[in-house]
Structure 1
Amino acid sequence: MHELSLTQGIVETITDRLGERRVVMVRLEIGKLAGVVVDSVRFCFDLVVAGTPLEGARLEVLEPGGRARCRDCSVEFRCDDPILLCPCGSSDVEILAGMELLIKAVEVEPDVRDVRV
């Protein structure tokens, strides 16, 4: 299950950047053509964040659909299935979107030292 190692990498990236600051929300963007099972990432996230500053953080996942362009007929079309076929029947397509795997946002608890009275 490569989703476990992906999720570990995401959590490590966030903790490397933020140190011990408490994280309350993580927003990921995982394209429908990225080859990642989002439900597995959600499951792994709860396991991986245990004992880290991300423990208890809310995970939001955006799943943009795929888009491709046929190299034979030049038609651009939506495709959320990993079997990429143009409506014309050609499989010679260029993927334009849907392969994303990004950390889009991280929300941290406000640092009480930053609050001014």
Structure 2
Amino acid sequence: MHEMSIAEGIIQVLEEQAKAQNYQRVKTVWLEIGPLAMIETEALSFCFDAVTRGSLAEGAKLNIINIVGEAFCLQCLKTVPVQKRYDACPECGSHQLQVTQGDEMRIKELEVE
């Protein structure tokens, strides 16, 4: 389960930013996650709750914003929606797709004190 290491990485970023931006507590975290990021959001929420205990984010709410996956088809030259890596283009059936969005996970916003 790599979601535990992802949650630990989030806490590390929060702690680094708390020092840099001088805040004491994190109340809410908004994460953007795409369908191609290969992250189980329920597992990440569980792990986030576990790793925040005793940290500046203890009791913080985790809000996950699901973003859409998109790719550019090199065959039909269209931007198309994708849900999984190696899907065929829904327009022409080609597998020559270049992912343009949806494989990322990032901290979008924080509510802090």
Same fold at TM > 0.5: yes
Q: Which of 49, 52, 65 is the matching residue for 1:49? A: 52
Deviations 1:81-114 (A, max 9, x none): 23421021111101111012101111112xxxxx
Structure 1 gap segments, 5+ residues each: 110-117
Output the CA distance in 1 between the equivalents of 2:15 and 2:82: 34
Structure 2 gap segments, 5+ residues each: none
Aligned-residue CA RMSD (Å): 1.3
* Match in the other structure for 2:106: 102
Equivalent runs, 1:22-101 vs 2, <5 Å: 22-87=25-90, 88-101=92-105
* TM superposition shift of 1:22: 1.2
Output the CA distance in 1 between the equivalents of 2:69 and 2:79: 11
Output the CA distance in 2 between the equivalents of 1:68 and 1:22: 38
With normalisation by structure 2, the TM-score equals: 0.90
Aligned positions, number: 109
* Match in the other structure for 2:18: 18
Output the CA distance in 1 between the equivalents of 2:110 and 2:79: 33
Indicate the percent of aligned positions where both proteins have the same amino acid: 38
Runs of 4+ in 1 over 4 A off after TM superposition: none
* Match in the other structure for 2:4: 4
Larger radius of gyration: 1
